[in-house]
Amino acid sequence: MNGRTQKISKEETCPQKNRTVSEGYVGGQTFLWITENNLTDTNQLGDGLLEMIVSPSNLNRAYQQVKRNKGSGGVDKMEVESLQDYLVIHKDELITSILQGNYRPNPVRRVLIPKDNGHRKLGIPTVVDRCIQQAIAQVLSPMYEPQFSDNSYGFRPRRNAHGALRKCQAYITEGYKYAVDLDLEKFFDTVNHSKLIETLSRTVKDGRVVSLIHKYLNAGVQVGSKIRTSEVGVPQGGPLSPILSNIMLNEMDKELESREHKFVRYADDLLILCRSKRSAERTMSSMIHFIEDKLFLKVNREKSQSAHIRKVKFLGYSFYKSKGEGRLRIHRKSVAKMKAKIKELTSRSNGWGNSRRKEVLRQYITGWGNYFKLADMKNRLLRIDEWYRRRIRMVIWKQWKRIRTRVKNLIKLGVKKSKAWEWANTRKSYWHTANSFILKTTITTENLRKAGYVMLSDQYRKVSIKT
């Protein structure tokens, strides 16, 4: 199964490794291996932002990123494998049409993916558009990073969910026991274009860049063979979308900061910490007002609440306070999800082979345990482990039961008793060794306790890294 991937990586890494052979005649641009065939036009680098975006080094980095992600194609069905060939041929006309302002992005391909409730709408741009969007994002990111809030953690370099959770924990320790949990309804679909463009042009002074981004917002979606225009929303699926969402919601962050609220935001998930129930309620209604009237976004009132910190769910965790300190625990929905997944992996994965099943389980458990390692849960860890062991035993028992009924049927049909039981025992020992192997080696206390130890060492690391 990994023969294919090895082959691909060999084929694709070789030209990159060998790129230095051309160093002699292409001078300073050698590291841009897309352009090494035709780089007569590299001295168009000005100080304009658009020129920075279409500069060979930036476009090259963007291309590399798009290729690395190995996403599927957009409406033109071009895949990332053929992207390089396309770019070396059409790079010049692409760049000039972008610079002249007559580049028209393709509409995005509509893909629906199942979510917990309902489905999520994705808009997948063509691979070429993903490159250009990535190039824009790469230039915008360093411009915006300094002005983004310290309390915003989603979609940002060197920031993660764990940082957001640590911050919540710190606020709770400081005595903020009530929280406003605001859920922005279908955030990506409801972004108001003119508000976003207005916010954008406050920082992005190059009007051509703003207009290019505007074109991406207006590119529309293709459903079947029809192209539908998009007056609101930013397509969920483009490299530009995450930073645009942060640019939009940075306005909200600034408002919260000017009101001196304690808050933590992860993408469109917002938690405002308050000292009292009354102030939480007041904050919630005034922030809903602000978000809907000033930012023209919609707040999902059913999912939003102001409540004691024990009741809120944030990034898969929930909170409580013990001995004056804020603590984290795994929200029960996350535990339920994990159980469902393990159930699926242990029972419905027939025909996968045992080593494969063991490997998949190990990967899932380590990933899961690693994400939820911030939770205070020695007891919880052991409970999960116990549950898992019972689950495996049950699977073994069920299989044995199935074998026994089958043996009885065979005897009824006239098969010799000894022959039937001999067969049964070989089946039994097969299943038993298969499953007890998993029981012993995959998860168990060792693996889960390891997650607990990692948590402790991580606290040390966290202190030193996190300034």
Partner DNA sequence: TCTCCTACCAC
Of the pair 117, 322, the CB lying nearest DNA is at 117
Counting contacts by CB under 7 A, is residue 134 touching RNA? yes
Q: Which does 107 bind (CB under 5 to 8 A by kind): RNA, DNA, none?
A: none
Q: Among residues 7, 70, 277, 398, which is the contact residue for DNA, using CB under 7 A?
A: 70
Both tokens assigned to 440:
């012993």
Nearest distance from C-beta of residue 131 to DNA, angstroms: 15
Exactly one of 105, 237, 316, 326 binds RNA (CB under 7 A); which one? Answer: 237
Q: Does 319 bind DNA (CB under 7 A)?
A: no
Check binding of 176 to DNA (CB under 7 A). Answer: no
Residue 440 makes CB contacts below 8 A (sequence gap 6+) with none
Q: If binding is defined by CB under 7 A, does position 13 make contact with DNA?
A: yes
Contacting residue, 7, 70, 333, 466, with RNA by CB under 7 A: 70
Q: From the list DNA, RNA, none, which binds 320 (C-beta under 5 to 8 Å, kind-based)?
A: none
Nearer to RNA by Cβ, of 91 and 130: the residue is 130
Hey, what are 435's tokens?
């499953």
| 437: region left, alpha or beta (phi > 0 left; psi from -120 to 50 alpha) | alpha
CB of 77 to DNA, least distance (A): 21
Kindly state whether residue 269 participates in binding DNA, applying the rule CB under 7 A: yes
Handedness of CA 393, 397, 399, 403 (dihedral sign): positive
> Smallest distance from the beta carbon of 9 to DNA, in angstroms?
5
Interacting residue with DNA among 7, 68, 303, 343 (CB under 7 A): 68
Residue 18 binds DNA (CB under 7 A): no
Cβ closer to RNA: 126 or 283? Answer: 126
Residue 303 binds DNA (CB under 7 A):
no
Considering only residues 301 to 330 of the shown chain, the ones binding RNA according to CB under 7 A are none
In angstroms, how far is CA 190 from the centroid of its own chain?
20
64 binding RNA? (CB under 7 A): no
Angle ∠(143,251,120) on CA atoms, nearest 5: 90
Tell me if 61 contacts DNA by CB under 7 A. no
Shortest Cβ 237–RNA spacing (Å)? 4
- The partner residues of 429 in beta bridges, in order of sequence, read none
Compute the residue count for the chain: 467
Interface stretch with RNA, choices 194-202, 236-244, 276-284, 319-327 (CB under 7 A): 236-244
Residue 195 lies near DNA (rule: CB under 7 A): no
Site for DNA in 352-391 (CB under 7 A): 360, 363-364, 367-368, 370-371
The residues of the shown chain that bind RNA, judged by CB under 7 A, are: 65-66, 69-72, 111, 113-114, 122, 124, 130, 134, 137, 154-160, 162, 236-239, 241-242, 267, 366-367, 370-371
The residues of the shown chain that bind DNA, judged by CB under 7 A, are: 5, 8-9, 13, 68, 70, 154, 160-161, 266-267, 269, 315-316, 334, 337-338, 341, 360, 363-364, 367-368, 370-371
